[in-house]
Amino acid sequence: MTASSWPEAPARTAPRRRGAVLERAILDAALDQLSTVGWRDFTMEGVAAGAQTGKAAVYRRWSSKEDLVVDALRAGLPSFQQAPNLGSVREDLIALCLRARDAMFSRSGFALRSVIHECDTVQVERLHVLICEKLLAPTTGLLREIVNRGIERGEVRASAANDYVYDTIPAMMMYRTKMCDSEWSERDVEELVDRLMLPLLRPDGT
């Protein structure tokens, strides 16, 4: 038998994925597309291509891109479960801010911001619960823990334990990221803590 008459080797095909493995691939592809092309150019077809599956496999699980985006963000956004405990309120706040910064500039963070910036009012309202659940509520909860610990150590005055103080860091970081294109370097974070948060928290109020 000559070389030209040898039978061709069968083409290798990727193993068929099912269940949770396929869903994870679709969710990852959705985050990739959101973080690169944004909400307006996000398509179910693009997600299917990125996940190397058929469009029907995507639509069987999610009937609209809104449903898919919500689930992708919920699965991709990091969890804030434990407050830093480094021995001082200042160090704890800096560590928490850096953790929030890393989340904001992660792949899922970029995806979330593309949705917030490009969606219409109705679509943003639908995502409000998700944003509160995954970002705002956990961050303010950890701030509450840091502040209460500081009160016990005498670093923080008791009257500083209020919702306005807890909202300060998330509100400032989101505002300056969106309006001022701040990338929150470590120096920026330290200035936020030293110039804004510590004066709000000090026992003497100065």
Q: One-letter amino acid identity for 112? A: L
The helix, strand and coil proportions of the chain, stated in percent and rounded to the nearest 5, come to 70, 0, 30
Q: Report the CATH number at residue 44.
A: 1.10.10.60
pLDDT tens-place string over residues 177-197:
888 888 999 999 999 999 999
Which residues fall within 8 angstroms of residue 172, CB to CB, at 6 or more apart? 192, 196
107 and 40 inside one domain: no
Report whether pLDDT(206) > 60.
Answer: no
pLDDT tens-place string over residues 118-177:
777 666 677 777 877 887 888 889 999 999 999 999 999 999 999 999 999 988 998 898
Of 106, 142, 137, 129, the residue nearest 34 (C-alpha): 106
The SS3 call for residue 62 is coil
Question: Does some domain include residue 13?
Answer: no
Question: Does some domain include residue 132?
Answer: yes
d(CA 45, CA 52): 10
pLDDT at 17: 63
Which tokens in the block code for residue 42?
Answer: 């996000």
pLDDT at 110: 81
154 and 186 inside one domain: yes
Report whether pLDDT(81) > 50.
Answer: yes
Element (H, E) at 31: helix 19-37
Report whether pLDDT(205) > 60.
Answer: no
Report whether pLDDT(203) > 60.
Answer: yes
pLDDT at 11: 42
Helices 163-180 and 107-118, axial angle in degrees (round to 10): 80
pLDDT at 68: 94
pLDDT tens-place string over residues 1-57:
554 454 554 444 445 667 889 999 999 999 999 888 888 899 999 999 999 999 999
Last residue of some domain: 68, 97, 131?
A: 68
108 and 150 inside one domain: yes
91 and 148 inside one domain: yes
45 and 136 inside one domain: no
Which residues fall within 8 angstroms of residue 75, CB to CB, at 6 or more apart? 24, 27
pLDDT at 6: 47
d(CA 117, CA 111): 10
Question: Does some domain include residue 11?
Answer: no
Q: One-letter amino acid identity for 201? A: L
Instruction: Tell me what percent of the residues of the chain surpass a pLDDT of 70.
Output: 88
Range of the domain at 39: 19-68
Question: Does some domain include residue 12?
Answer: no
Question: Does some domain include residue 152?
Answer: yes
Q: Report the CATH number at residue 136.
A: 1.10.357.10
Question: Does some domain include residue 103?
Answer: yes
pLDDT at 165: 94
117 and 34 inside one domain: no
Angle made by CA atoms 190, 196, 202, in degrees to the nearest 5? 105
What does pLDDT average to over the chain?
A: 86
